[in-house]
Amino acid sequence: MLQEQEGVRWEQQRQFAQEEAQRQAQLAQYQDELARKRLAQEHELERQRNAELVKMQEESGVKREMERLRIEQQIQAERRAADQHAVRGTGGGVDPMHWEHAGQHRVLDLRFCVKAVKAAAAS
């Protein structure tokens, strides 16, 4: 009788240990699934942040290019105005004295434009 009770007790303990191991395995599997979902969410957030950064960089590049083109057009307009001023001042023909004067304006205009480009690039 004592051996039977002891055998039943050992069987119950073995069964309890088996059930406990099964519960632990299920808990580990659940925790693993949660960790995978968390990593997937973090990965998706990182991907979205990277996409936003790329978009902002592209927009910034477009703005810089537009500003560069605007300044280039301004430089060209100032050059044309300086050339027209030089031509008008000479009565149609360009003598070396007036051409040199127009060139000095062009150099001054370019210096101004270079400063404007540097200021635009800094901002």
Q: What is the pLDDT of residues 10-43, one digit of tens each?
A: 999 999 999 999 999 999 999 999 999 999 999 9
Task: Write out the two tokens for 31.
Answer: 């925790």
Task: Write out the two tokens for 42.
Answer: 């973090």
Question: What are the φ/ψ torsions at residue 122 (nearest 5 degrees)?
Answer: -70, -25
Global pTM value: 0.48
The DSSP code sequence of 30-82 is HHHHHHHHHHHHHHHHHHHHHHHHHHHHHHHHHHHHHHHHHHHHHHHHHHHHH
Q: What is the pLDDT of residues 42-72, one digit of tens each?
A: 999 999 999 999 999 999 999 999 999 999 9
| Residue bearing the bigger pLDDT, 113 or 51 | 51
Question: What are the φ/ψ torsions at residue 85 (nearest 5 degrees)?
Answer: -65, -40
pLDDT over 70, % of the chain = 76
